[in-house]
Structure 1
């Protein structure tokens, strides 16, 4: 797949996809614009046109993972987990797999 930003999240403590996790994708530079806002499906994937490149331009991006909402705890350790990255070539695909527990996370550019 060429172009786009895809998200896949798994709660590694339970071994389950992060169904219902709210994710926002913002382009923050050169101008702040939200390009996606949605919840992950049963497979832990964000089903949004941004995965095929809609709204993706050159710039700096921030993805916000609303983990506190997912756990439903007002006292949750993790609240909103941000991830910032830069896109220089809009023809490249940026796959962002999030592996997390209630206490921590790992996020990277995948294949």
Structure 2
């Protein structure tokens, strides 16, 4: 059985989940760069998760992935005073999955000026 992938986003500057943050997931090619169609994309929901059916399906196989978080657009949409372009416009995160039976949880904690990304324990 496939363990899947979950992505949880929190705007730590406001202390709230990042509802409305745009996120995209794409596979990495042999050269380590994103290639092919997006596996999933959408906006983070009110519970802080990117709810996309592909993330908990057989679409998540062993290999490399890139997740892109559109931080600059998120803060502009919130009416925050960020420069254009923002200090963090798009945050890419590349990682690899070796064992597809294990669930991979990616907590993304961020502000307009910095972020933390790691494999969580969910």
- TM-score norm. by structure 2 comes to 0.83
Pick from 56, 63, 66: which aligns with 1:62?
66
Alignment of 1:22-41 (within 5 A): 22-30=22-30, 32-41=36-45
- Specify the alignment match of 2:116 in structure 1: 106
Q: Alpha-carbon deviations, 1:31-76, whole Å to 9, x = none?
A: 6342101100011111111331341111110000010110115231
How far apart, in 2, do the equivalents of 1:109 and 1:48 lie?
Answer: 19
Alignment of 1:1-111 (within 5 A): 3-30=3-30, 32-72=36-76, 73=82, 74-111=84-121
Local SS of the residue matching 1:32: strand
The list of structure 1 runs, each at least 4 consecutive aligned residues, that deviate by more than 3 angstroms after superposition, is: 30-33
- Asked whether the 8 Å contact 1:12–1:100 carries over to 2, the reply is yes
Local SS of the residue matching 2:66: strand
Q: Between Structure 1 and Structure 2, whose CA radius of gyration is higher?
A: 2
How far apart, in 2, do the equivalents of 1:87 and 1:67 lie?
Answer: 24
The change in CA–CA distance for 1:88 and 1:33 in structure 2 (over 3 A counts) is farther
Q: Give, in angstroms, the shift of residue 92 of structure 1.
A: 1.2
